Chain A
């Protein structure tokens, strides 16, 4: 199907979101909660755009581009004054909630609009409730964390705010967090995350700690990866692979 984004005609498949089509056509739409590997949630509302049903339509509707499935003939504007203002408000609100998150402050400066300083949260964390960590943990199959409580008190936590057997200490949540909210302590012997300590497995090749024992068990249980994935770190696996190529080539 055909649609127009910021005056640029774009081709799209049914079921695609506006964001997908825009990015493919190198049209920039800022996002926070979106991640290509995860299902959309439409939580941050930074990616809002204005849409009209067809070129002659006057009434525009503001939608989240990460969730809105494209329709034939759709007219999308990604940077109307209204859209820009809404994004600004979203960032202003997040900046007040997370005064210590430099990523938010940077994005806010980049917007360059009339920023409003809202009352900063006294106990503000860096968490912007994007749910990336929760969705990633779900995708991995662990479901160790979730958004608990509701409204402004909502926070990401393991059940009972306590150690849980569901967590394997893989660290994906921390790696995918856009603001560095999730604290991780790494030592050669253990990794500490969500107030829980996980023993590290050492690489059979170089001896470096490369994943937690619990992660290794979890991944092995899936039975989808080659055995060397659980014994060797990524660098050693690459080196071994390179060595094999060399042998094949000579």
Chain B
């Protein structure tokens, strides 16, 4: 299990028994591991002295958290108002068609996880896609496939 020591390292950065840090600790784990495993939620809860029940509740309440493993890249479709009125939902449909997986899903080959996200603050470039944090602005439905191909030129 190569991940186990990493989890312990992250957890150990927080003082034990400080329930207030739960949200932060879970965020750090997710940043490192891409999602929150059952093991990770349990470890965070135990370290900070909160119940697993509460840790699970927090992990499911806040949208920032994912409870299943993610694709190699994350494709975020901004659904802020500006993006919406400039056609974000048409883009979402196009992404679904292009990648074969829609918002909330991961492509079969594990390449992309697709998410609808709230405003990313780039309203001037609407509609906006983010591929692993790289921002693609003014994306038209007809060019989604080409833009994604260019952005996803990973291995």
Binding site for B on A (CB under 8 A): 143-150, 158-160, 164, 166
Contacts and interface: CB of A to CB of B under 8 A. Distances in A.
21 contacts: A143-B51, A143-B53, A143-B54, A146-B53, A146-B56, A147-B57, A150-B60, A150-B61, A158-B53, A159-B41, A159-B51, A159-B53, A159-B55, A159-B56, A159-B57, A160-B38, A160-B41, A160-B52, A160-B56, A164-B52, A166-B52
A149 B52 contact: no
Nearest to B56: A159
B22 to A, nearest CB: 13
A144 B60 CA distance: 16
Contacts of B41: 159-160
Contacts of B52: 159-160, 164, 166
Interface of B: 38, 41, 51-57, 60-61
**At the interface, is chain B mostly helix, strand, loop or mixed?**
helix
B51 to A, nearest CB: 5
A164 B61 contact: no
A29 B53 CA distance: 33
A144 B61 contact: no
B138 to A, nearest CB: 31
A146 B53 CA distance: 6
List the 6 closest pairs (A to B, CB-CB), nearest first: A159-B56, A146-B57, A148-B60, A159-B52, A143-B51, A146-B53
Contacts of B61: 148-150
Given A150-B61, A160-B38, A166 B51 contact: yes
Most chain A beta carbons < 10 A, residue from B38, B51, B52, B60: B60
Contacts of A149: 60-61
Contacts of B54: 143, 146
A149 B62 CA distance: 8
Contacts of B57: 146-148, 159
A146 B123 CA distance: 37
Contacts of A144: 53
Contacts of A150: 60-61
A164 B38 CA distance: 12
Most chain B beta carbons < 10 A, residue from A144, A145, A148: A148
Contacts of A160: 38, 41, 52, 56
Contacts of A146: 53-54, 56-57
A160 B51 CA distance: 12
B56 A148 contact: yes
Contacts of B51: 143, 159, 166
A158 B54 CA distance: 10
Contacts of B60: 148-150
B132 to A, nearest CB: 26
Given A146-B54, A164-B53, 11 more contacts: A143-B51, A144-B53, A147-B57, A148-B60, A150-B60, A150-B61, A158-B53, A159-B56, A160-B38, A160-B41, A160-B56
A146 B51 CA distance: 11
Contact of A145 (B38, B53, B55): B53
A143 B56 CA distance: 12
Nearest to B50: A143
Contacts of B56: 146, 148, 159-160
